């Protein structure tokens, strides 16, 4: 009885020599291509080339080598269908019983910024074709696409062979690989042609971590990274602390989105986050002043939250941070003194950020039970700066307006932020009524004076009630998008109360 045959053609050569030797010892004849064949032969593994199998040379710089009936016929024919068996015998097609293939490194070329011509040459054709053929015929053909499976397959072959469940699992992994590969290629061409909202929105995500649980202990969860994206705000080095949870990562993202608003600006920004909403935020001359202002703005809700700082944390800042129960501290870096202080807390996660402004595709998505909502990220702060009242805002008030809009933009709607001296004084997120958002903000500010403060609203005032309530609380200037049919009522109320109001023309609903 003829030996079984394995076709080996891999870009990732790790472990292939040892695997090839094991297959020969198990009675397989080896067929191979190009550099894989050379490496196997140099290591003493007896193997023939594809040319020897097909009687046809590799052509077109290797573009055509395995696309041949003697290859695909040997993979695809069903051993339990007599008509298939008779056909391959008549055409002198020999069976191929194992396909060991991984693909051209298209993703690596993408990461290196290769020119388009090189990217196209790294689109594998024969590899995916063989993988898909073998995966389709998994009951008769073992398809191997992951080097980490080599040892396990050898052990099972030595022990009597692979079960149908084993073969099905390998088939599933094979189709996952080709789907992933095609997705990255599709995304590349999507960018090249500039089709931002295509008919088929192909995305592939690779698991980075299996999380302990989701938002609650009864929910399973994992962390995945989109394969096409080269870097994100959430790329960091964990310097200390226990594993991140689902909620940690979600809150961290909220913190980094806010910090990104202040990149390139004078001063250091810091923010405290709880349940994906800011507890408080501030800009200071350095990390110490910035966080001190943030902490003083809300000493209550920061408990058990996370802190982000777009600077290096020094010893003085670390000392203040260490006195509070926090889940995460994320910053550009930490001095040795700061790490010495903070690492005394065993569970505190300390994260060193890579970049707050990576180049990404700028999508915001929500997966809704089989439907995917996709929109552009909200990356525009304002369209205009239009003073609509008799009172003109001062330079300091205008600065606070811009600061307030950068914060309220990232709060759940309806949202109100009351700020002063680039520090949040009172925040009211996530209310179904705008006046409730304002009332909650004022009620939760721990009795601090709001005199001379600036109010920022994520969307327009539908009535003048917010203006009147804010004035009683000490607010002296307001910034909002405008656009309500009742804008004039709010403007009139501001004029009567001596409040400056600015329209931006851009609303920032966040649900």
Mean pLDDT of 280-291: 98
**Do 326 and 273 belong together in one domain?**
yes
**For 130-167, what is each residue's pLDDT tens digit?**
999 999 999 999 999 999 999 999 999 999 899 999 99
Domain boundary among 312, 329, 353: 353
**What is the reported pLDDT for 279?**
96
Q: How far apart are CA 200 and CA 325, in angstroms?
A: 46
- Look at residue 317 and give its three-state secondary structure: helix
CATH of the domain at 273: 3.40.140.20
Q: Are residues 159 and 257 in the same domain?
A: no
Say if 373 falls within a structural domain: no
User: What does the DSSP 8-state code read for residue 262?
Assistant: T
The answer to whether the peptide bond before residue 414 is cis (omega within 30 degrees of 0) is: yes
Output the pLDDT for position 56.
Answer: 82
**Does residue 112 form part of some domain?**
yes
Q: What is the pLDDT of residues 351-407, one digit of tens each?
A: 999 988 887 888 999 999 999 999 999 999 999 999 999 999 999 999 999 999 999
Strand ranges (DSSP E) for 406-509?
416-420, 423-428, 453-457, 475-480, 500-503
**Distance between CA 50 and CA 68 in Å, rounded?**
10
Supply the range of the domain harboring residue 261: 230-353
DSSP code of residue 462 = S
Told to judge if 345 belongs to the known catalytic residues of this protein, a careful annotator would answer: no
**Closest C-alpha among 185, 180, 250 to residue 215:** 250
Question: Do 34 and 157 belong to one domain?
Answer: yes
pLDDT more than 90, % of the chain:
86
Residue identified by tokens 């600006």 is 265
The closest alpha carbon to 320, from 350, 349, 290, belongs to 290
Residue 50: pLDDT band with limits 50, 70, 90? confident
- Of 335, 353, 371, the position where a domain reaches its end is 353
Instruction: Decide if 414 contacts 270 (C-beta within 8 A).
Output: no
Same domain, 12 and 151: yes
CA distance 281 to 416: 14
Same domain, 49 and 111: yes
Residue 450: predicted pLDDT: 95
Q: Specify whether 136 is located in the same domain as 258.
A: no
3 state DSSP class of 443 = helix
Copy the structure tokens of residue 74. Answer: 């040997």
Query: pLDDT band at residue 2, thresholds of 50, 70 and 90?
Result: low
Burial (CB count within 10 angstroms: exposed 0-12, middle 13-18, buried 19+), residue 44: exposed
Domain's final residue, options 332, 353, 374: 353
Could you write out the DSSP letters of every residue in 56-83?
A: S--BTTTTBSS-SHHHHHHHH--TT-HH
- Give the span between the Cα atoms of 8 and 134, in whole angstroms: 12
Q: Greatest CA span in the chain, whole angstroms? A: 100
277: phi then psi, degrees, rounded to nearest 5: -115, 145
With respect to residue 224, please indicate whether it lies within any of the assigned structural domains.
no
Q: How far apart are CA 506 and CA 511, in angstroms?
A: 16
pLDDT tens-place string over residues 313-348: 999 999 999 999 999 999 999 999 999 999 999 999
Same domain (yes/no): 83, 149: yes
Among 469, 511, 471, 462, CA closest to 490: 462
Q: Which helix (H) or strand (E) is 237 found in, with range?
A: strand 236-240
Q: 69 pLDDT band (50/70/90 cuts)? A: confident
Range picked from 79-88, 279-288, 351-360, 364-373 for highest mean pLDDT? 279-288
Q: Is residue 83 part of a domain?
A: yes
Is the residue at 362 inside a domain?
no
168 and 33: one domain?
yes
Asked whether the predicted pLDDT for residue 1 surpasses 60, the reply is no
**260 occurs within a structural domain:** yes
Among candidate residues 404, 423, 179, 390, the one with its CA nearest the CA of residue 295 = 423
- For 140, residues 6+ apart whose C-beta sits below 8 A from its C-beta are 77, 78, 79, 80, 95, 97
pLDDT band at 82 (very low <50, low <70, confident <90, very high): very high
Q: Name the token pair of 285.
A: 């001359």
pLDDT > 90? residue 113:
no
Q: Report d(CA 380, CA 6) in Å as an integer.
A: 56
Same domain, 21 and 164: yes
- The burial of 115, by beta-carbon neighbours within 10 Å (0-12 exposed, 13-18 middle, 19 or more buried), is given as exposed
Q: Are residue 35 and residue 127 in the same domain, yes or no? A: yes
Q: Which residues contact 272 (CB under 8 A, 6 or more apart)?
A: 278, 279, 280, 281, 294, 295, 298, 301, 302, 305, 306, 307
Q: Which of 494, 289, 283 is nearest to 388 (CA)?
A: 494
Q: E strands within 347-452?
A: 349-353, 363-368, 371-376, 386-387, 416-420, 423-428
Residue 227 reports pLDDT greater than 90:
no
Query: Which of 84, 173, 225, 275 is labelled catalytic?
Result: 275
Q: What SS3 class is residue 47? A: strand
Q: Report if pTM > 0.95.
A: no
Domain annotation covers residue 89: yes
Cβ-based neighbours of 303, under 8 Å, separated by 6 or more: 324, 325
**Per the structure, how many domains does the chain have?**
3
Concerning whether 275 is annotated as a catalytic residue, the answer is yes
Query: What's the residue count for the chain?
Result: 511
149/144 Cα distance (integer angstroms): 7
In a domain, 167, yes or no: yes
C-alpha 484/C-alpha 459 separation (Å) is 9
Instruction: Convert 451-468 to b/e letters by CB count within 10 Å (16 or more is b).
Output: eebbbbbbbbbbebbbbb
Residue that is written with structure tokens 């910034």 in the block: 479
- CATH number for the domain harbouring residue 45: 3.40.50.1380
Three-state SS for 448? coil
Residue 441 in this model has a pLDDT that exceeds 80: yes
Which residue of the set 136, 345, 448, 468 is catalytic?
A: 136
- Alpha-carbon distance 108 to 190, whole Å? 18
Q: Are residues 317 and 411 in the same domain?
A: no
In this structure, are 84 and 11 located in the same domain? yes
Say if residues 57 and 51 touch (Cβ distance below 8 Å): yes
Average pLDDT over residues 464-475: 96
Query: Residue 242 and residue 249: Cα distance in Å, rounded?
Result: 13
């Amino acid at each position: 009885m003829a030996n079984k045959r394995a076709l080996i053609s891999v870009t990732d050569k790790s472990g292939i020599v040892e695997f090839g030797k094991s297959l020969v010892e198990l009675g397989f004849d080896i067929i191979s291509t190009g550099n894989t064949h050379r490496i196997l032969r140099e290591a003493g593994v007896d193997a023939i080339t594809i040319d020897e199998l097909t009687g046809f040379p590799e052509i077109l710089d290797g573009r055509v080598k395995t696309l041949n009936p003697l290859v695909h016929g040997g993979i695809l024919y069903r051993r339990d269908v007599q008509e298939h068996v008779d056909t391959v015998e008549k055409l002198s097609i020999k069976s191929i019983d194992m396909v060991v293939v991984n693909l051209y490194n298209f993703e690596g070329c993408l990461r290196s910024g290769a020119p388009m011509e090189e990217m196209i040459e790294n689109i594998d054709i024969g590899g995916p074709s063989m993988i898909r053929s073998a995966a389709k015929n998994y009951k008769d053909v073992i398809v191997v696409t992951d080097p980490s499976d080599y040892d396990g397959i050898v052990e099972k072959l030595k022990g009597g062979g692979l079960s149908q469940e084993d073969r099905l699992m390998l088939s599933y992994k094979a189709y996952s690989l080709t789907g992933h590969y095609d997705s990255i290629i599709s995304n590349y061409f999507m960018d090249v042609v500039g089709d931002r909202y295509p008919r088929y929105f192909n995305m592939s995500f690779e698991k980075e971590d299996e999380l302990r649980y989701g938002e609650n202990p009864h929910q399973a969860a994992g962390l995945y990274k989109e394969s096409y994206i080269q870097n994100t705000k959430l790329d960091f080095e964990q310097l200390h602390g226990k594993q991140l949870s689902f909620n940690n990562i979600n809150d961290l993202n909220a913190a980094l989105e806010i910090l990104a608003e202040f990149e390139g600006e004078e001063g250091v920004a810091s923010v405290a986050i709880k349940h994906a909403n800011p507890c408080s935020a501030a800009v200071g001359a350095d990390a110490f002043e910035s966080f001190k202002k943030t902490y003083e703005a809300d000493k209550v809700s920061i408990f058990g939250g996370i802190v982000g700082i777009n600077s290096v944390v020094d010893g003085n800042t670390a000392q203040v941070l260490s006195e509070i129960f926090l889940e995460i501290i994320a910053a550009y870096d930490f001095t040795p003194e700061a790490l010495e202080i903070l690492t005394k807390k065993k569970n505190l996660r300390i994260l060193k950020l890579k970049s707050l402004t990576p180049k990404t595709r700028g999508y915001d998505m929500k997966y809704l039970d089989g439907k995917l909502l996709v929109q552009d990220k909200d990356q525009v702060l304002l369209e205009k700066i239009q003073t609509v009242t008799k009172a003109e805002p001062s330079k300091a008030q205008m600065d606070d307006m811009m600061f307030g809009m950068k914060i309220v933009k990232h709060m759940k709607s309806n949202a109100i932020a009351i700020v002063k001296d680039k520090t949040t004084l009172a925040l009211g997120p996530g209310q179904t009524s705008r006046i409730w958002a304002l009332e909650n903000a004022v009620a939760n500010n721990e009795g601090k004076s709001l005199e001379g403060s600036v109010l920022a609203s994520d969307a327009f005032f539908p009535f003048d009630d917010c203006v009147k309530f804010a004035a009683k609380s000490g607010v002296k200037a307001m910034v909002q998008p405008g656009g309500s049919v009742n804008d004039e009522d709010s403007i009139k109320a501001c004029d009567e109360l001596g409040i400056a109001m600015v329209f931006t023309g851009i609303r920032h609903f966040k649900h």
